[in-house]
Structure 1
């Protein structure tokens, strides 16, 4: 999760997208639409800062984990805070995001 957040802050799109399962679609239709939307939103910012706190991880059957944490995001003039939940799956020795939600 920290590598994902660091890639996001650095606008390292390969590292950011590499934290997700192949074909991840988010809520934007197809995987390519999701990636195009994220690319525009991330690369369009001058500066991005993320702070993750209160991280809890619950291991579930089938090489699955659920991570929940508070995410404090700021970019340019925008500031947002909220609870985020990532559902991760272990593939080829790496934990990859397969689902995310914000409350």
Structure 2
């Protein structure tokens, strides 16, 4: 008597709303990187929540001033995201990825983590860290 293989149980597919939210988060992260790469400072800064907390303890205004100074005047910036992983929890999301960044003589490839929140239908960055 031969034994029939036991079928593996598949996890249930994600709910349509989860898929849509994941796509929206992914799109927001990609748009943030594209804005940075295209030197579009208003669009880049708009990717951040008004409640964004800079990691270095600066105020939002100080952080914005620093970002403008680093981006303005660059001839070219390239930003590539690899190994993008997303996790969602209601109106909160986390994006983790390898960021490949080049501007002038600067080259960096840190692991990056963006904590995001859905604000009126737009996913915005509330916290950003490297090395995670």
Shorter-chain TM-score bucket reads over 0.9
Q: Which residue of 1 aligns with 2:52?
A: 24
Check whether the contact 1:25–1:34 (CA below 8 A) recurs between aligned residues.
Answer: no
Q: Which has the higher strand share?
A: 1
Paired residue total: 102
- Determine which structure has more spread, i.e. the larger CA radius of gyration: 2
For structure 2, the residue ranges without an aligned partner over 5 or more in a row are: 1-28
Out of 61, 80, 83, which is 2:108 matched to?
A: 80
Distance 2:126 2:53 in 1: 9
Compute the TM-score of the two structures, normalised by the length of structure 2: 0.74
Q: RMSD value over aligned CA atoms?
A: 1.1
TM-score scaled by structure 1?
0.93
Counterpart secondary structure, 2:109: strand
Moved over 4 A (4+): none
The answer as to 2:97 corresponding to 1:60 is no
Following TM superposition, by how much is the alpha carbon of 1:24 offset from its aligned partner in structure 2, in angstroms?
A: 2.4
Gaps of 5+ in 1: none
**Partner of 1:38 in structure 2?**
67
- Tell me the secondary structure at the aligned position of residue 127 of structure 2: strand
Deviations 1:42-80 (A, max 9, x none): 11322100100100100124x000110000000111110
2:94–2:114 CA contact under 8 A, matched in 1: yes
The offset of 1:23, in angstroms, is 4.2
